[in-house]
């Protein structure tokens, strides 16, 4: 145990300074050596989810010897044997996952302390210099050992006031992904409402004199977390930082692509049609085709109106889409949502502001604003109308007006947003790919492009005969035809769509789009799911005779 390093960390936290660290999941101790050489305040060696064995762990611990980098080991579960072993081989403390109650936290602390205060047995291992420093080590250990719980379930929220009073607890990590999963948003970093709950827990712990930690998802998010009051901030996970750097380099030469769960490069993935959709996806609602002018209309501000084409009124789930029309010179005041929003300029000229960052948009430019970010919009023209397509990751949209001054900063015409905050897709330069024969698609937003996002979507261009295969989704979808004419086929039912008509395709409905004209057809599509995933099925499923649900 490096008592000097622990004291240094505590001094920094007592001075309300951010202590920066690295989450280690790869086996090479050189990674931890690099963290030490760069002067990081702490490392967490992950023995919960990764493939590290005890030999790997001890080599990482050796890489921190005689440094001021605190070395913590994340164990697999609340278990006295695991805590004892991690501390015996020289960890300065343990990180314990899935702590939900004050009693569990007390138990973890007891496992980490020697009697009479705790239940830890004395071993002749690295911590005691192989039995040569029993007295010296056991005299200091109880005072200095760090026991850091991870708060990562919704059940924890009501327990935080009690946990904040537990003697021997001073540091708390948050696990946004698992918290989101227990809140019903599996696969998202911070699902709907999760960010607010985590900040509430953090505030409770801070008032009790505790310090809170979280892993940053980007450089900008690191600064944001520091501003929010987190003081134990992970600059990232070693594998994630490596992938971020690799993808940035590949992007420079146009070679960036997504990684699939099969570890097969995206370019090599070939969809194998299923004979029929999974029975678990049997739909409970019909598709709905919505013509412009027939939707629910709401006045948002003077000269600003919203026509909802997909939403609660036609039984959409976790999704609202439609058109917002700005009269010449009209403005929508600064506001926030508890969900993300996509804004695409269809006609006219417009300016979007996000926390004072000002973007001038051209036709088909898209801005995605994550939950909680204050934003405003205005029509830059005093003579022409501006029209947006908007998508909201909820079926019950609300907004909160923000009366706060943000210093205005005019962004360049090719600015693409701020990492960890808004994303701006410049239509003219966006990366395109083929989603089917004679098609060009753009991914505007999804959880890979913006970690934590609840929805995904983008743009599709269909040249003559362009089409998609028959497919289903495990979530609702909105498809808006913004130019040309489309044929939408849903289980043998054929619909002609044009002029902004928008289809609601409920979860599980087999469908596809095809351009049967001699002109071009363009669409904007939005999924009520974080990843643009589709399940390709046999073409016969999209016919009346082969309808899998009949």
For residue 299, what pLDDT is reported? Answer: 95
In the chain, the percentage of residues whose pLDDT exceeds 90 is 89
Tens digits of residue pLDDT in 244-256: 899 888 877 767 7
For residue 176, what pLDDT is reported? Answer: 95
Q: How far apart are CA 529 and CA 474, in angstroms?
A: 8
Q: How far apart are CA 396 and CA 29, in angstroms?
A: 49
Domains by residue range for the chain, with CATH: 3-245 (3.20.20.60), 268-542 (2.60.120.10)
Q: How far apart are CA 238 and CA 115, in angstroms?
A: 37
Whether residue 22 is predicted with pLDDT greater than 70 in this model: the reply is yes
Q: Which burial class, exposed, middle or buried, applies to 257 when counting CB atoms under 10 A from its CB (0-12, 13-18, 19+)?
A: middle
Strand order of the sheet with strand 320-326?
Answer: 296-301, 304-310, 320-326, 386-392, 341-347, 366-369, 423-425
Here the tokens at position 473 are 């989704």
Q: Which burial class, exposed, middle or buried, applies to 81 when counting CB atoms under 10 A from its CB (0-12, 13-18, 19+)?
A: exposed
Interval 371-382 mean pLDDT: 95
State the pLDDT confidence band at 265, using cuts at 50, 70 and 90.
low
Whether residue 269 is predicted with pLDDT greater than 80 in this model: the reply is no
For residue 268, what pLDDT is reported? Answer: 52
Q: How far apart are CA 24 and CA 50, in angstroms?
A: 9
Interval 101-121 mean pLDDT: 97
Average pLDDT, the chain: 94
Long-range CB contacts (within 8 A, 24+) of 127-132: 127/1, 127/87, 127/88, 127/89, 127/90, 128/88
Whether residue 267 is predicted with pLDDT greater than 60 in this model: the reply is no
Q: Is 177 left (phi over 0), alpha (psi -120 to 50) or beta?
A: alpha
Q: How far apart are CA 1 and CA 90, in angstroms?
A: 6
Here the tokens at position 348 are 């006219």
Whether residue 274 is predicted with pLDDT greater than 80 in this model: the reply is yes
Nearest to 517 by CA among 467, 478, 479: 467
For residue 264, what pLDDT is reported? Answer: 63
Q: How far apart are CA 384 and CA 386, in angstroms?
A: 7
46 φ/ψ angles, rounded to the nearest 5 degrees: -90, 110
Tens digits of residue pLDDT in 54-79: 999 999 999 999 999 999 999 999 99
Tens digits of residue pLDDT in 478-502: 999 999 999 999 999 999 999 999 9
Residue with tokens 């537990």: 166
């Amino acid at each position: 145990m490096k008592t000097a390093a622990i004291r240094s960390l505590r001094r920094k936290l007592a001075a309300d300074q951010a202590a920066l660290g690295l989450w280690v999941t790869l086996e090479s101790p050189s990674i931890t050596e690099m963290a030490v050489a760069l002067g990081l305040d702490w490392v967490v060696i992950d023995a919960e989810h990764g493939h590290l064995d005890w030999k790997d762990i001890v080599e990482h611990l050796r890489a921190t010897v005689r440094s001021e980098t605190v070395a913590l080991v994340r164990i697999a579960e609340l278990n006295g044997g695991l805590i004892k072993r991690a501390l015996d081989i020289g960890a300065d403390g343990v990180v314990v996952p899935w702590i939900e109650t004050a009693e569990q936290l007390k138990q973890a602390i007891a496992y980490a302390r020697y009697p009479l205060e705790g239940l830890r047995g004395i071993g002749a291992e690295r911590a005691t210099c192989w039995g040569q420093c029993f007295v010296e080590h056991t005299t200091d250990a109880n005072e200095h050992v760090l026991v850091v719980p991870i708060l990562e379930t919704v059940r924890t929220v009501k327990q935080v006031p009690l946990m904040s009073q537990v003697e021997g607890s001073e540091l708390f990590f948050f696990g946004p992904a698992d918290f989101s999963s227990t809140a019903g948003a599996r696969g998202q970093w911070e699902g709907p409402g999760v960010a607010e709950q985590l900040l509430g827990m953090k505030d409770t712990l801070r008032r009790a004199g505790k310090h809170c930690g979280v892993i940053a998802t980007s450089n900008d998010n690191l600064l944001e977390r520091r501003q929010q009051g987190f003081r134990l901030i992970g600059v990232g996970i070693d594998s994630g930082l490596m992938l971020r750097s690799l993808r940035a380099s590949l992007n420079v030469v146009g070679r960036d692509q997504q990684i699939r769960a099969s570890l097969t490069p995206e370019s090599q993935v070939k969809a194998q049609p299923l004979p029929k959709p999974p029975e678990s996806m049997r739909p409970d609602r019909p598709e709905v085709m919505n013509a412009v002018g027939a939707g629910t209309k709401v006045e948002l501000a003077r000269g600003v109106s919203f026509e909802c084409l997909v939403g609660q009124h036609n039984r959409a789930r976790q999704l609202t889409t439609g058109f917002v029309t700005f009269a010449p010179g009209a403005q929508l005041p600064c506001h926030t949502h508890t969900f993300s929003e996509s804004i695409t300029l269809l006609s006219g000229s417009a300016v979007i502001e996000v926390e004072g960052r000002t973007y001038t948009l051209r036709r088909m430019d898209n801005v995605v604003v994550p939950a909680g970010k204050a934003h405003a919009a205005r029509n830059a023209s005093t003579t022409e109308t501006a029209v947006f397509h908007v998508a909201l990751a909820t079926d019950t949209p609300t907004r909160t007006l923000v009366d706060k001054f943000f210093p205005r900063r005019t962004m360049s015409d090719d600015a693409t947003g701020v990492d960890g905050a808004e994303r701006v897709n410049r239509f003219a330069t966006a990366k395109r790919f083929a989603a089917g024969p004679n098609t060009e698609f753009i991914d505007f937003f999804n959880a890979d492009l913006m970690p934590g996002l609840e929805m995904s979507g983008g743009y599709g261009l269909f040249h003559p005969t362009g089409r998609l295969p028959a497919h289903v989704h495990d979530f609702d979808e909105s498809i808006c035809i913004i130019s040309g004419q489309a044929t939408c086929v849903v289980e043998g039912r054929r619909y002609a769509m044009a002029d902004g008509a928008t289809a609601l395709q409920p979860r599980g409905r087999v469908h596809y789009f095809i351009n049967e004209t001699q002109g071009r057809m363009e669409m904007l599509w939005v999924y009520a799911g974080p990843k643009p995933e589709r399940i390709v099925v046999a073409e016969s499923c999209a016919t009346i005779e082969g309808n899998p649900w009949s």
